[in-house]
């Protein structure tokens, strides 16, 4: 009896410790190092693998060219990708190569020394590769872009024709766009349709991304956000005129842009080029209705950058690949080779085949892309997809995340009609001063 007590304690402690230890590391399955036979296994991060084929596509295309390198995918949650990646990097269990989903977190990774210097890979890339300068800090590059989407204007040709309004011709400014949205709404109402002229999703980027990219001298870090004013006044005017669904209805009814444009509730939609693949897929499987559509360049602030003889200015963050500094030294060369492949012609071709907009838009890649079934093949769509000056949505700054949060509050406050544009701007500037100046 007497001897049993310590044993009971020891046993309970052992059980408890084993139980709590279960939460330890089980993510390091992809840590196999290069063997003596020259075979290398790289691990690559990705999200929602079942519905996001791009990671497997690049990995397979790379392995086809480099049979001695196997690329294993490690799945993350799409919404919490950066949170989970941060935790894995801090714990030392992150994969060898990980994706920079947008530029918001790049500063944190780079300044936290979680990215290997890959300047040699970036320097060898084709000069036409979009977004490759976004990852440069103090002359050194820390990631390479493999995707570079850009925001364009989707339009429904059938609804435009029904409303009797001329189709976009690539020369539009935002005022032209607003007038067209109103004209289409009126025209459709006359034709007995309830569809509206345009649909703008609830994201702050639908307004702020364009404003920041297109306004000369606009600087997120300056804390002066007055460049947003004309853009917001235009949107408020469209909401009041009933040419687009107000933000409150978008959020309370959980509207999706895919359903709004895909089921012909709206004749226009400013959206990123990633939606092309979704729309093609949804039209093929019946989720979206069957109608004629096309893409036009994003409307411009003024006529100087509008028209097919100019280069329209738009925005979007590149999607990049970086190397985890914790990678086994023997695998660095293979990882760099993978990065060069993904950002180069090989990766671009593989991505274009599945409807994804790669960072490198050569003519051959464009031909592949516009060979997809169901894609609009008019010249304006091709022009809009291939020709643009795409600026980053999130400039790489220590304060980007904070400023974007402030501007998101501004966005919901103004578009819900809670404050006027001027009051909202003053509030945002005051907050930027107190929250982002440390």
Angle, helices 54-65 vs 345-353, to 10°: value is 130
Hunting for tokens 């991505």 — which residue is that? Answer: 351
Q: Can you tell me the distance from the alpha carbon of 103 to that of 317, in angstroms, rounded to the nearest whole number?
A: 6
Is residue 132 helix, strand or coil? helix
Radius of gyration of the chain (CA): 25
Span near other proteins by CB under 8 A; candidates 70-78, 84-92, 294-302, 332-340? 84-92
Under rule CB under 8 A, residue 90 binds other proteins:
yes
Strand segments, DSSP code E, in 84-189 are 97-100, 136-137, 140-141, 144-148, 151-156
If binding is defined by CB under 8 A, does position 86 make contact with other proteins? yes
What's the CA gap between 4 and 133, in Å, rounded? 69
Is-contact 402 109, C-beta < 8 A? no
Stretch that binds other proteins, among 128-136, 190-198, 332-340, 416-424 (CB under 8 A): 416-424
Q: Is 111 in the site for other proteins (CB under 8 A)?
A: yes
Among the listed ranges 109-117, 177-185, 299-307, 381-389, the one in contact with other proteins (CB under 8 A) is 109-117
By CB under 8 A, how many residues form the interface with other proteins? Answer: 49
Decide if residue 401 touches other proteins (CB under 8 A). yes
Q: Of these, 41, 114, 273, 300, which contacts other proteins (CB under 8 A)?
A: 114
Within residues 192-251, the interface with other proteins by CB under 8 A covers 246-249, 251
Q: Closest CB to other proteins among 23 and 286?
A: 23
Distance between CA atoms of residues 298 and 173, nearest Å: 8
- Ramachandran area for residue 145 (φ above 0: left; ψ -120 to 50: alpha; else beta): beta
- Out of 52, 108, 179, 366, the only residue in the binding site for other proteins (CB under 8 A) is 108
171 scored as a contact of other proteins (CB under 8 A): no
Q: Provide the 10 A C-beta neighbour count for residue 168.
A: 23
Q: Is 253 in the site for other proteins (CB under 8 A)?
A: yes
**Binding-site member from 51, 127, 216, 252 for other proteins (CB under 8 A):** 252
Q: Quick check: helix, strand or coil at residue 169? A: coil
* Residue 3 binds other proteins (CB under 8 A): yes
Closest CA to 304 of 120, 206, 185, 171: 171
Site residues for other proteins, window 10-39 (CB under 8 A)? 12-13, 15-17, 19-20
DSSP single-letter state for residue 298: P
**Options 69-77, 106-114, 310-318, 377-385: segment touching other proteins (CB under 8 A):** 106-114
Segment interacting with other proteins (CB under 8 A) among 47-55, 224-232, 367-375, 423-431: 423-431
Q: Which of 167, 310, 419, 426 binds other proteins (CB under 8 A)?
A: 419
Is the CB of 283 or the CB of 412 nearer to other proteins? 412
Residues 6+ apart with CB under 8 A from 219: none
Q: How many CB atoms lie within 10 A of CB 333?
A: 12
Minimum distance from CB of 256 to other proteins (Å)? 12
Q: What gap in Å lies between CA 239 and CA 237, rounded to an integer?
A: 5
Q: Which residue has the tokens 């602030």?
A: 301
Question: What is the strand order of the sheet 318-323 is part of?
Answer: 69-76, 40-47, 97-100, 318-323, 144-148
What 8-state DSSP symbol labels residue 92?
T
Work out whether 434 is an interface residue with other proteins (CB under 8 A).
yes
Beta carbons within 8 Å of 87's beta carbon, 6+ residues apart = none
**3-class secondary structure, 249:** helix
Q: Indicate whether 437 belongs to the interface with other proteins (CB under 8 A).
A: no
Tell whether residue 92 is a contact of other proteins (CB under 8 A): no
Q: 342 to 361, contacts with other proteins by CB under 8 A?
A: none
Q: Is 395 in the site for other proteins (CB under 8 A)?
A: no
Return the closest-CA partner of residue 397 out of 221, 204, 145: 221
- 258 belongs to the binding site for other proteins (CB under 8 A): no
CA distance 24 to 14: 16
The region of 51-59, 341-349, 361-369, 430-438 touching other proteins under the rule CB under 8 A is 430-438
Give the nearer residue to other proteins in terms of CB position, either 11 or 64.
11
| Minimum distance from residue 349 beta carbon to other proteins (Å) | 36
Contact segment (CB under 8 A) with other proteins among 158-166, 303-311, 335-343, 415-423 equals 415-423
Binding site for other proteins (CB under 8 A): 2-3, 5-6, 8-9, 12-13, 15-17, 19-20, 83, 86, 89-90, 108-109, 111-114, 246-249, 251-254, 401-402, 405, 409-410, 412-413, 416-419, 424, 427, 430-431, 434-435, 438
């Amino acid at each position: 009896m007497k001897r049993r007590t310590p044993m009971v304690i020891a046993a309970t402690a052992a059980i408890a410790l084993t139980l709590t230890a279960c939460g330890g590391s089980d993510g390091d399955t992809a840590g196999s190092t290069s063997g003596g036979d020259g075979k290398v296994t790289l691990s690559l991060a990705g999200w929602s693998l079942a519905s996001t084929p791009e990671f497997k596509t690049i990995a397979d295309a790379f392995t086809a060219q480099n049979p001695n390198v196997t690329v294993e995918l490690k799945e993350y949650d799409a919404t919490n990708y950066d949170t989970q990646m941060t935790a894995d990097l801090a714990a030392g269990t992150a994969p060898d190569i990980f994706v920079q989903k947008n530029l918001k977190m790049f500063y944190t990774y780079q300044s936290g020394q979680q990215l290997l210097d890959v300047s040699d890979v970036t320097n060898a890339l084709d000069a036409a590769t979009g977004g490759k300068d976004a990852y440069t800090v103090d002359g050194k590059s820390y990631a390479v872009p493999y995707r570079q989407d850009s925001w364009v204007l989707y339009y429904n040709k059938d609804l435009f024709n029904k409303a009797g309004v001329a189709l976009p011709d690539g020369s539009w400014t935002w005022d032209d766009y607003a007038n067209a949205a109103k004209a289409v709404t009126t025209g459709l109402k006359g034709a007995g349709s309830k569809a509206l002229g345009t649909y703008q999703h609830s994201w702050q980027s639908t307004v702020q991304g364009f404003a920041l990219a297109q306004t000369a001298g606009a600087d997120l870090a300056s804390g002066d956000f007055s460049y947003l004013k004309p853009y917001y006044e235009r949107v408020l005017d469209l909401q009041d005129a009933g040419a687009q669904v107000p933000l409150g209805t978008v959020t309370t009814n959980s509207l999706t842009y895919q359903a709004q444009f895909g089921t012909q509730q709206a004749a226009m939609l400013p959206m990123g080029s990633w939606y092309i693949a979704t729309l093609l897929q949804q039209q093929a499987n019946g989720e979206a209705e069957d109608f004629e559509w096309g893409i036009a360049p994003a409307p411009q602030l003024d006529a100087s950058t509008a028209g097919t003889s100019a280069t329209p200015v738009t925005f979007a963050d590149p999607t990049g690949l970086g190397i985890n500094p914790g990678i086994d030294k023997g695998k660095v060369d293979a990882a760099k080779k993978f990065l060069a492949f993904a950002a180069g012609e090989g990766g671009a071709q593989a991505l274009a085949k599945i409807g994804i907009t790669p960072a490198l838009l050569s003519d051959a890649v464009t031909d592949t892309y516009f060979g997809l079934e169901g894609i609009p093949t008019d010249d304006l769509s091709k022009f809009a997809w291939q020709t643009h000056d795409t600026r980053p949505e999130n400039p790489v700054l220590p304060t980007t995340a904070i400023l974007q949060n402030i501007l998101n509050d501004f966005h919901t406050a103004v578009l819900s009609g809670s404050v006027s544009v001027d009051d909202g701007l003053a509030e945002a500037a005051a907050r930027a001063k107190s929250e982002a100046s440390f």
